[in-house]
Amino acid sequence: MATAAPLIEMTGREAQPTSRIAFLQGGKGGVGKTAFATMLIEWYRTKGAPVALIDMDSENKSRGSLGHFFPDARKVNIQRARGLDDFVDVLDQGAPIVVADMGAGAGEVAHQWFDSMHEQAKDSGVAFTAIGLVTPDPASVSSVLAWGNFLENRVDYLIVKNAISNPADFSCWENDPAAIEFRRLAQPKVISMEYRLPEIEHEAREHGLTLQAVAERKTTVPALKSTASVWRAQAYRRHIFTELETVKDLLLL
Residue ranges that bind another protein, judged by CB under 8 A: 4-5, 7, 16, 18-19, 45-50, 52, 72, 74, 89, 92-97, 248-249, 252-253
> Smallest gap, in angstroms, from Cβ of residue 45 to another protein?
8
> Smallest gap, in angstroms, from Cβ of residue 15 to another protein?
12
Q: Give me the phi and psi of 158, to 5 degrees please.
A: -125, 120
What is the C-alpha to C-alpha distance for residues 143 and 149, in angstroms, rounded to an integer?
10
Query: Which of 201-204's residues contact partners 24+ apart within 8 Å by CB, and which partners?
Result: 201/35, 204/233
> Smallest gap, in angstroms, from Cβ of residue 68 to another protein?
17
Task: Decide whether 93 or 112 has the Cβ nearer to another protein.
Answer: 93
Task: Decide whether 75 or 207 has the Cβ nearer to another protein.
Answer: 75
> Smallest gap, in angstroms, from Cβ of residue 49 to another protein?
5
> Smallest gap, in angstroms, from Cβ of residue 234 to another protein?
16
Contact (CB, 8 A) for 211 and 42: yes
What is the C-alpha to C-alpha distance for residues 106 and 27, in angstroms, rounded to an integer?
7
Task: Decide whether 76 or 145 has the Cβ nearer to another protein.
Answer: 76
Task: Decide whether 76 or 200 has the Cβ nearer to another protein.
Answer: 76
What is the C-alpha to C-alpha distance for residues 200 and 221, in angstroms, rounded to an integer?
11
> Smallest gap, in angstroms, from Cβ of residue 67 to another protein?
12
Task: Decide whether 52 or 145 has the Cβ nearer to another protein.
Answer: 52
Task: Decide whether 76 or 133 has the Cβ nearer to another protein.
Answer: 76
Task: Decide whether 88 or 164 has the Cβ nearer to another protein.
Answer: 88
> Smallest gap, in angstroms, from Cβ of residue 3 to another protein?
9
